[in-house]
Amino acid sequence: MLPKSHPRFESLRQRDLLIEGYKAGATAIAGLIAFGRGEAYDYLLGEKTPKSAITAIEASAALLLSAKNPVISINGNTAVLCPRELVKLSEILGAKLEINLFYRTEKRVGIIEKILKENGAKQVYGIRPTAELKGTESERRKVDRKGIYSADVVFVALEDGDRTEALISAGKKVIAVDLNPLSRTAKTASITIVDNIIRAVPLLIETVKKLKHTDKAELEKIVSNYDNEKTLKSMGAEILSGLKNQSQP
């Protein structure tokens, strides 16, 4: 039992979700390592959503609202960190949820499907893949024809660079949540939200609600004004200035 008064309660709570997710068979053991890498970057952000991420979240909401077939890709980390919020996001957008795993086993897919359904999902794609994504040899190539395969916008988090590149090569727009602004995914995605998925998804839900009745031309303007390279550069500057301020006496 974690004491709520612990100064690192939120961080320990997230670790606990991952550990329990691993014990339940949803999270891959490598998912724990990936989370640790994320934690280190989150530390550099002061465990707060950076300003640049807010810009990326607004552009993501606009892109998702303009999409014809948006799909939210779920893996073993996101399924245990914020399943309710991801289901909620899919509901308010009318987006599909698709399980797509790097360390795919049918057992893990079934466990993750159950978690999503317990959190309100009515339909989950990717259970029995019906198509293959070109450009990646990994298990992540196995996709659903009605889901990721035909999606115009794919939302991914804790992703590997290979599939992000494959999705972009297939002509899709990719929205990535990645705490590491230097990762291949961060650099390749159309929009990168450099933030912890736990904070980013609730903010994205709020922003989608805010922009839901915005007309199409305005949404397109928000998307076309967004520059991922520029946002990632300001992200780097934000991290550096945060570090400088912390190291000053």
Question: CA-CA distance, 125 to 147, in Å (whole number)?
Answer: 6
Residue 220 Cβ vs ligand PTJ, minimum distance, rounded to whole Å: 27
End-to-end CA distance of the chain: 36
How crowded is residue 226: how many other Cβ atoms within 10 Å of its Cβ? 18
Q: Work out whether 76 is an interface residue with ligand PTJ (CB under 6 A).
A: yes
Which position among 21, 71, 93, 102 is part of the footprint of ligand PTJ (CB under 6 A)? 102
From the list 53-61, 179-187, 210-218, 232-240, the region that binds ligand PTJ by CB under 6 A is: 179-187
Nearer to ligand PTJ, 90 or 196 (CB): 196
Q: Work out whether 77 is an interface residue with ligand PTJ (CB under 6 A).
A: yes
Nearer to ligand PTJ, 157 or 219 (CB): 157
Q: Which residue is nearest to ligand PTJ (CB)?
A: 38
Residue 109 Cβ vs ligand PTJ, minimum distance, rounded to whole Å: 10
Nearer to ligand PTJ, 84 or 214 (CB): 84
Which x/- pattern over 22-41 shows residues binding ligand PTJ (rule: CB under 6 A)?
Answer: ------x-xx--xx-xx--x
Binding to ligand PTJ in span 140-159, by CB under 6 A: 157-159
Q: Please give the backbone phi and psi of residue 74, each rounded to the nearest 5 degrees, phi first.
A: -115, 135
Burial 107-117 (b: 16+ CB within 10 A, else e): ebbebbbebbe
Residue 119 Cβ vs ligand PTJ, minimum distance, rounded to whole Å: 17
Which position among 58, 113, 165, 178 is part of the footprint of ligand PTJ (CB under 6 A)? 178
Sheet holding 96-99, edge to edge: 96-99, 70-74, 153-157, 173-177, 191-193
Q: Which two tokens stand for residue 6?
A: 């612990």
Question: CA-CA distance, 82 to 68, in Å (whole number)?
Answer: 25
Rg (CA), the chain: 17
Question: CA-CA distance, 160 to 158, in Å (whole number)?
Answer: 7
Q: Are 71 and 96 in contact (CB under 8 A)?
A: yes
Q: Which residues bind ligand PTJ (CB under 6 A)?
A: 28, 30-31, 34-35, 37-38, 41, 75-77, 101-103, 157-160, 177-180, 183, 196-197
